[in-house]
């Protein structure tokens, strides 16, 4: 059942964040069994670092919105 089904499907869903998706990838042994382990390790490390940088980034919108205040 997908998101548009009449009954909720609570056992599996698409993660809402990159961090959640990476956690799901690491938890899914069956999926990872089809992939090169070194590739998965490097990819997940890279994306976790990218996500941390994104969390601390100041966007153009934030600069435009709040630069008038300071």
pLDDT of res. 8: 60
In a domain, 67, yes or no: yes
pLDDT of res. 67: 86
pLDDT of res. 70: 62
Q: What is the largest CA-CA distance in the chain?
A: 52
Residue-by-residue pLDDT tens, the chain, 70 positions: 455 666 666 666 789 899 999 999 999 999 999 999 999 999 999 999 999 999 999 999 999 888 876 6
In a domain, 54, yes or no: yes
In a domain, 45, yes or no: yes
- Cβ 18 vs Cβ 11: under 8 Å: no
In a domain, 60, yes or no: yes
Domain enclosing residue 53, as ranges: 36-70
């Amino acid at each position: 059942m997908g998101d548009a089904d009449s009954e909720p499907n609570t056992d599996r869903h698409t993660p809402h964040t990159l961090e959640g998706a990476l956690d799901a990838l690491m938890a899914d042994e069956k999926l990872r069994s089809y992939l090169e382990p070194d590739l998965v390790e490097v990819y997940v490390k890279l994306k976790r670092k990218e996500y941390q940088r994104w969390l601390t980034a100041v966007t153009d919108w934030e600069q435009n919105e709040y630069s008038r205040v300071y």
